[in-house]
């Protein structure tokens, strides 16, 4: 017996300072995990963490020193940037207690949870799933993954996004409502985590729209930066 067509290629993210790559299994995302962003989206900032997923092949890996290119997607007039700290899982498990959670993290990267905000707002209004707003191709641009031991300060570091050189989002990763360890505890109660899982931990305030031609620069101190250009719709 054989496959009826070539098996899909496993998406891979470069590892910082190495020729190695990190194969991606799943992409989990945390909704509204910074107080000021929850408020700007019309919420109180005091709710239990909740999750959504993107398909693994939504990653748009960008190597160190390179600028990625993201096509402006269809069906939207409001493509929003959300800069996020991404945790890359190296050791799986279920029901992982927060106290042990960070031992499951292989490394960290700068990521963008790109969102078709107009579609998300429509789906919210109608009580429908967010998939079409969050899980489309190239919706998860990500920079190189830095091994955890090489990024000791990343859970209390400045996080920022600039568009065409202008600051749009700026905060600290320590301002997460639910810390990464708590996120992993909640997430692993709902799904069995496995090596290759990425967790987008939520975005700070200042989300906004980008246009074709815009250049994005995402930074978290201690990690490899993420550069991205938005290209015209094809």
The site for Mn ion (CB under 5 A) is made up of 82, 113, 203
Pick 66 or 118: Cβ nearer Mn ion: 118
Minimum distance, C-beta of residue 19 to Mn ion, in the bound complex (Å): 30
Question: Cβ distance 61 to 13 under 8 Å?
Answer: yes
CB-nearer residue toward Mn ion: 15 or 59: 59
How near is the Cβ of 223 to Mn ion at its closest, in Å? 17
Which one, of 202, 90, 217, 203, lies nearest residue 146 by Cα? Answer: 90
Give the DSSP letter string of 85-114: EEEEESS-BSS--HHHHGGGEEEEEEEE--
Alpha helices in 9-116 (DSSP H): 35-40, 98-101
The least CB distance from residue 191 to Mn ion, in Å, is: 18
Q: Which two tokens stand for residue 168?
A: 């749009």
Q: Read off the tokens for 196.
A: 């290759």
- Beta carbon of residue 31, minimum distance to Mn ion (angstroms, whole number): 7
Closer of 41 and 98 to Mn ion (Cβ):
41
CB of 38 to Mn ion, least distance (A): 11
Q: How far apart are CA 222 and CA 153, in angstroms?
A: 7
Residue with the closest Cβ to Mn ion? 113
Query: Which ranges of 46-200 would DSSP assign to H, the alpha helix?
Result: 98-101, 117-126, 131-134, 180-190
* Cβ-based nearer residue to Mn ion, 15 or 201: 201
Residue 93 or 130: which CB sits closer to Mn ion?
130
Query: Would strands 226-231 and 67-71 be described as parallel, antiparallel, or unpaired?
Result: parallel
* Bridge partner residues of 116 (DSSP): 79
Residue 87 C-beta: closest distance to Mn ion, Å: 14
Q: Give whichever of 30 and 151 is closer to Mn ion, judged by the CB atom.
A: 30
């Amino acid at each position: 017996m054989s496959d009826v067509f070539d098996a899909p290629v496993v998406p891979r993210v470069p590892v910082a300072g190495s020729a190695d790559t990190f194969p991606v299994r799943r992409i989990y995302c945390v909704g509204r995990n910074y107080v000021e962003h929850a408020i700007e989206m019309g919420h109180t900032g005091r709710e239990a963490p909740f999750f959504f997923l993107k398909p693994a092949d939504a990653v748009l890996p960008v190597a160190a020193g390179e600028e990625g290119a993201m096509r402006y997607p269809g069906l939207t007039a409001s493509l929003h940037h959300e800069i996020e700290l991404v945790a890359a899982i190296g050791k799986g498990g279920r029901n992982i207690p927060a106290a042990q959670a960070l031992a499951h993290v292989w490394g960290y990267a700068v990521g963008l949870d790109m969102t078709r905000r107009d579609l998300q707002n429509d789906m919210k209004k109608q009580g429908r799933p967010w998939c079409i707003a969050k899980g489309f191709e190239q919706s998860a641009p990500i920079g190189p993954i830095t091994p955890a031991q090489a990024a000791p300060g990343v859970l209390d570091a400045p996080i920022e996004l600039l568009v065409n050189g202008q600051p749009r989002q700026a905060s600290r990763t320590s301002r997460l409502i639910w810390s990464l360890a708590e996120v992993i505890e909640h997430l692993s109660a709902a799904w069995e985590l496995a090596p290759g899982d990425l967790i987008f931990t939520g975005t700070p305030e200042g989300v906004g729209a980008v246009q074709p031609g815009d250049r994005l620069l995402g930074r978290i101190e201690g990690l490899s930066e993420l550069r991205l250009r938005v290209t015209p719709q094809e």
